[in-house]
Amino acid sequence: MNISQIEIHDVISGEIVRRDLNETELADAQAEKAQAEKDAKAKAKTEQVLADKRQTILDRLGITADELKTILS
């Protein structure tokens, strides 16, 4: 389904209506998509920072992640 269309299901009649989004709905959909992309990039960046911090600590200790798992298990 295209972002410029909406599909509405009438559960009583079983009818499916597909129509173009109006300007407000389209602007909202585009804003939601942009926000989702922004959130995904921020999450990826945060995860990378945490991974780098973990690796820095492991490097200081002189062990690998697998060795740490073995020690902790």
Number of domains forming the structure of the chain = 1
The token pair that represents 21 in the structure block: 């989004």
What does pLDDT average to over the chain?
Answer: 93
Domain residues for 23? 5-72
pTM of the model: 0.63
Q: How confident is the model at residue 2 (pLDDT cuts 50, 70, 90)?
A: low
Residue 14: the pLDDT is 92
Residue 72: the pLDDT is 93
Cβ contact 35:42 at 8 Å: no
**What average pLDDT does this structure show over 33-48?**
98
For residues 31 and 25, what is the distance between their CA atoms, to the nearest angstrom? 10
For residue 23, with 0-12 CB atoms within 10 Å meaning exposed, 13-18 middle and 19 or more buried, which class applies? exposed
Phi and psi (nearest 5°) for 17? -115, 130
DSSP state of 21: -
